[in-house]
């Protein structure tokens, strides 16, 4: 009897976890996020939203900040796994209003958030600029980026003036706060 109870508890926990992920109103959360972003002058427009049970896909959208086109994206996939969350972005391009900094394209980027370190978000990406890795500390409001630029990006003085070369890491570092 006791053995059945101890075997039943983990099965119940797994069932509860999976049913939470599958029934989470992902589209509703996304629309609430858009609503909150608008209060900060960020508008996400033209996006198509699809709930795929385990993840949420947002495709073909544009992000505007104070009516300026910041980025266009091909696809964003959000995996809300409660204890570990992941966002994958494909085909992220600089918007027309900030193209003076260069036409940069992220072919892919990912952001990971783990409940064991709730104040940190780890990200990485690659594109026509090179590769980058970084961390965001939400509590301290800090961001660290390690950039491995290609030759073209390395020559862009306007972009690279914020990064410091670090030979020990083989790239360029940026430390900032927000």
pLDDT tens, position by position, 46-95 = 889 999 888 999 999 999 999 999 999 999 999 998 789 999 999 999 99
Question: Per-residue confidence at 1, pLDDT binned at 50, 70, 90?
Answer: low
Residue where the block lists tokens 């809300």? 80
Task: Name the pTM for this structure.
Answer: 0.81
Mean pLDDT rounded to a whole number for the chain: 92
């Amino acid at each position: 009897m006791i053995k059945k109870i101890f075997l039943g508890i983990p099965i119940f926990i797994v069932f509860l976890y999976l049913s939470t992920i599958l029934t989470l109103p992902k589209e509703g959360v996304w629309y609430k996020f858009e609503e909150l972003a608008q209060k900060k002058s960020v508008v996400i427009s033209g996006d198509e939203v699809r709930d795929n049970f385990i993840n949420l896909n947002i495709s073909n959208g544009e992000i505007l900040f104070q009516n300026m086109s910041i980025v266009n994206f091909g696809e964003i996939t959000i995996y809300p796994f409660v204890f570990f969350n992941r966002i994958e972005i494909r085909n992220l391009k600089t918007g027309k209003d900030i193209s003076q900094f260069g036409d940069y394209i992220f072919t892919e980027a990912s952001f990971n958030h783990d409940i064991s370190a709730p104040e940190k978000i780890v990200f990485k990406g690659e594109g026509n600029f090179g590769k980058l890795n970084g961390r965001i500390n939400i509590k301290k409001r800090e961001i660290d980026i390690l950039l491995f630029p290609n030759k073209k990006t390395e020559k862009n003085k306007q972009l690279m003036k914020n990064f410091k070369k670090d030979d020990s890491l083989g790239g360029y570092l940026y430390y900032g706060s927000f």
